[in-house]
């Protein structure tokens, strides 16, 4: 039995067709009631996903297909696997190193059941908890010697696939795929599409279609997601490997080694550079690992995150840069991929800023400030009843002014907000399309002092508020057709305004 086709790369968007083709010409030609059998294994930890003794590993499905006209068995595992990855909404446990558990931090306090925080509020690094899983597939045959014989199988001499990763991303039908002209294996090359931060291209990006020039207030939360390492962590990984190329610098430890943040004022640096080493104490991992939690990570780069980590913003700054850096092998850190610039954003007098964050198509979070004419309104729906006039259960009948007539029994109220962008570029316009198609959108409040009394802190519901986009269409504007480009969208806050019953 042979695997004659499989994904070309090992990092798979779970929305992709995850196709495996297996073949056993001998059994198909000489047996009856033949079926190809595939077992699907999913793991949330490093190691072999077929190791069922590990509590993080499980066999999630057994699938069977009859041979097609060419005698092969074709499996698509995407619909099975999409249930095993999901967005990361919260910080939390990251990794265990030297028998010590490490967690993300907010305001330099570890995440716990009593001190929780969202993924948007992390001080420095965070591994993923739900966005990536390690998977493997086991194949064998089921057949009978003749139509009167019992079924038997070859499960004792099964064929294991390589290990693959799935992550919570979606792929578009017109995305360009790479194909191996020898094997026919095909897949999405993340390096070719500039989603890998490495020294082979200056255009490598974090996991976002956002422009590398963005705008941010002085107390805004923001995280960037990234593929943080090659799965082997060494040069033993071939250039085809997991993402289409190495993370970091080829010939050295193939992972990002630190995030570098530098503020600027009037074209010159202001304040010292801020660095977040790739370290378990910072919410990342110190070592190379196949652990799926380490493959995709987040780093807090917003002004609010920077302050939460214990840093002060310079008194004067125009913008700051964010760079991923790798070790060149001699202890010098080299910037790999694009440099991101965050310009200070002022809100015009009289306008209210709304910062939206949404789950992007690569499975992590994007952010945007709406700073122009934003309008709030409340839509209310009432259920009424007719109240009797007077008192009918007392010694005498009495009339009161507050009784009788049509009364409200219950009122359901939703807050609607119309948001308007500033004038934006074509690149920003194309990126903002993802807000309209995202399944998860939130209003994110600015960082402020967390008031407390003793151990009691006012934090629940403070920063992240769910909403849905109610605008049903989005017309992408271009400079040639529309000159200046400005967009208006409408959102509805997800929670009702609570109103007491009459």
Phi, psi of 295 (to 5 degrees): -70, -40
How far is Cα 221 from Cα 307, in angstroms, rounded to an integer?
10
* 122 and 246, same domain (yes or no): yes
499 belongs to a structural domain: no
Please tell me what DSSP assigns to residue 119. G
* 57 and 31, same domain (yes or no): yes
Angle at 68 between CA 65 and CA 69, to 5 degrees: 165
Domain boundary among 344, 377, 403: 344
Whole-angstrom CA distances from 442 to 32, 118, 255 are: 56, 12, 31
Residue 29 domain boundaries: 2-86+134-175
498 belongs to a structural domain: no
* 316 and 224, same domain (yes or no): yes
Alpha-helix runs per DSSP H in 309-415:
none
Residue 236 has a pLDDT of 41
Q: Which residue has the tokens 């070592």?
A: 287
155 belongs to a structural domain: yes
What's the whole-model pTM score?
Answer: 0.90
Please tell me what DSSP assigns to residue 322. E
* 58 and 82, same domain (yes or no): yes
As for how many domains the chain has, the answer is: 3
Domain boundary among 344, 365, 386: 344
Q: Which residue has the tokens 């504007």?
A: 477
329 belongs to a structural domain: yes
Structure tokens at 260: 């570098």
Phi, psi of 261 (to 5 degrees): -120, 130
Domain boundary among 321, 344, 367: 344
The pLDDT tens digits of the residues spanning 449-487 come to 876 666 666 677 789 999 999 987 777 666 665 566 778
* 307 and 401, same domain (yes or no): no
User: Parallel, antiparallel, or unpaired: how do β-strands 11-13 and 164-167 relate?
Assistant: parallel
Residue 186 has a pLDDT of 93
Residue 188 has a pLDDT of 94
Of 191, 187, 208, 209, the closest CA to residue 200 belongs to 191
* 51 and 151, same domain (yes or no): yes
Decide: 337 and 212 in contact? Cβ < 8 Å.
no
* 319 and 378, same domain (yes or no): no
Residue 412 has a pLDDT of 74
* 221 and 147, same domain (yes or no): no
User: Parallel, antiparallel, or unpaired: how do β-strands 258-265 and 178-179 relate?
Assistant: unpaired
Whole-angstrom CA distances from 88 to 118, 185, 284, 296, 438 are: 9, 31, 15, 11, 14
Q: What is the CATH number of the domain that holds 155?
A: 2.60.40
* 270 and 335, same domain (yes or no): yes
Structure tokens at 400: 């009161």
Beta strands in 278-359 (DSSP E): 296-300, 319-327, 333-344, 354-359
Residue 307: CB partners within 8 Å, gap ≥ 6? 219, 313, 447
* 305 and 169, same domain (yes or no): no
185 belongs to a structural domain: no
59 belongs to a structural domain: yes
Structure tokens at 269: 């640096």
Residue 425 has a pLDDT of 84
349 belongs to a structural domain: no
User: Parallel, antiparallel, or unpaired: how do β-strands 19-23 and 2-5 relate?
Assistant: antiparallel
Decide: 102 and 283 in contact? Cβ < 8 Å.
yes
How far is Cα 168 from Cα 14, in angstroms, rounded to an integer?
6
Q: Which residue has the tokens 């490490």?
A: 102
Residue 501 has a pLDDT of 67
How far is Cα 277 from Cα 300, in angstroms, rounded to an integer?
12
* 218 and 319, same domain (yes or no): yes
Cα R_g (the chain), whole angstroms: 28
Residues in the chain, pLDDT under 50: 233-239
The pLDDT tens digits of the residues spanning 341-383 come to 999 998 877 788 899 999 999 999 999 999 887 777 777 777 7
Residue 234 has a pLDDT of 46
377 belongs to a structural domain: yes
Phi, psi of 208 (to 5 degrees): -160, 150
* 99 and 67, same domain (yes or no): no
């Amino acid at each position: 039995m042979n695997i004659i086709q499989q994904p070309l790369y090992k990092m798979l968007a779970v929305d992709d067709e995850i196709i495996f083709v297996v073949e056993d010409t001998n059994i198909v030609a000489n047996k009856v009631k033949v079926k190809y059998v595939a077992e699907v294994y999913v793991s949330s930890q490093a190691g072999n996903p077929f190791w069922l003794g590990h509590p993080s590993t499980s066999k999630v499905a057994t699938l069977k297909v009859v041979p097609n006209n060419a005698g092969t068995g074709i499996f698509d595992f995407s619909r099975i696997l999409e249930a095993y990855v999901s967005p990361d909404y919260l910080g939390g446990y990251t990794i265990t190193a030297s028998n010590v558990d490490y967690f993300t931090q907010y305001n330099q306090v570890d995440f716990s059941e009593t001190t929780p925080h969202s993924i948007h509020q992390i001080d420095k690094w965070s591994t993923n908890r739900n966005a990536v899983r390690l998977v493997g597939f086991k194949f064998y045959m089921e057949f009978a010697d003749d139509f009167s014989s019992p079924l038997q199988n070859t499960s004792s001499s099964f064929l294991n696939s390589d290990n693959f990763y799935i992550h919570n991303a979606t792929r578009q039908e017109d995305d360009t795929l790479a194909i191996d002209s020898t094997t026919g294996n095909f897949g999405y090359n993340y390096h070719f599409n500039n989603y890998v931060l490495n020294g082979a291209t200056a255009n490598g990006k974090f996991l976002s279609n956002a422009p590398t020039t963005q705008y941010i207030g002085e107390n805004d939360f923001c995280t960037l997601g990234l593929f943080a390492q090659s799965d082997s962590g060494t040069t033993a990984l071939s250039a085809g490997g997991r993402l289409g190329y190495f993370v970091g610098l080829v010939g050295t430890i193939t992972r990002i080694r630190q995030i570098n943040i530098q503020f600027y004022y009037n074209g010159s640096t202001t304040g010292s550079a801020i660095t977040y080493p790739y370290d378990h104490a910072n919410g990342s991992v110190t070592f190379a690992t196949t652990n799926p939690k380490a493959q995709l990570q987040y780093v807090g780069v917003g002004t609010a995150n920077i302050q939460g980590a214990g840093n002060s913003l310079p008194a004067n700054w125009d913008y700051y840069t964010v760079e991923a850096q790798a070790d060149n092998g001699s202890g010098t850190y080299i910037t790999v991929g694009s440099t991101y610039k965050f310009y200070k954003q002022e809100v015009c007098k009289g306008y209210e800023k709304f910062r939206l964050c949404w789950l992007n198509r690569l499975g992590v979070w994007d952010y945007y400030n709406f700073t122009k004419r934003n309008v709030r309104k409340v839509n209310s729906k009432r259920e009424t009843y007719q109240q009797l006039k007077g008192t009918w259960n007392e010694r005498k009948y009495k009339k009161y002014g507050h009784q009788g007539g049509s009364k409200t029994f219950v009122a359901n109220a939703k807050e609607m907000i119309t948001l308007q962008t500033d004038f934006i570029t074509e690149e920003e316009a194309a990126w903002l399309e993802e807000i309209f198609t995202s399944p998860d959108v939130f209003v994110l409040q600015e960082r402020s002092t967390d008031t407390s009394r003793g151990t009691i802190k006012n934090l629940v519901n403070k920063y992240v508020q769910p909403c849905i986009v109610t605008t049903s269409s989005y017309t992408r504007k271009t400079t040639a057709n529309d000159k200046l480009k400005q967009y208006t969208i409408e959102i509805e806050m997800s929670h009702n305004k609570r109103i007491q019953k009459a």
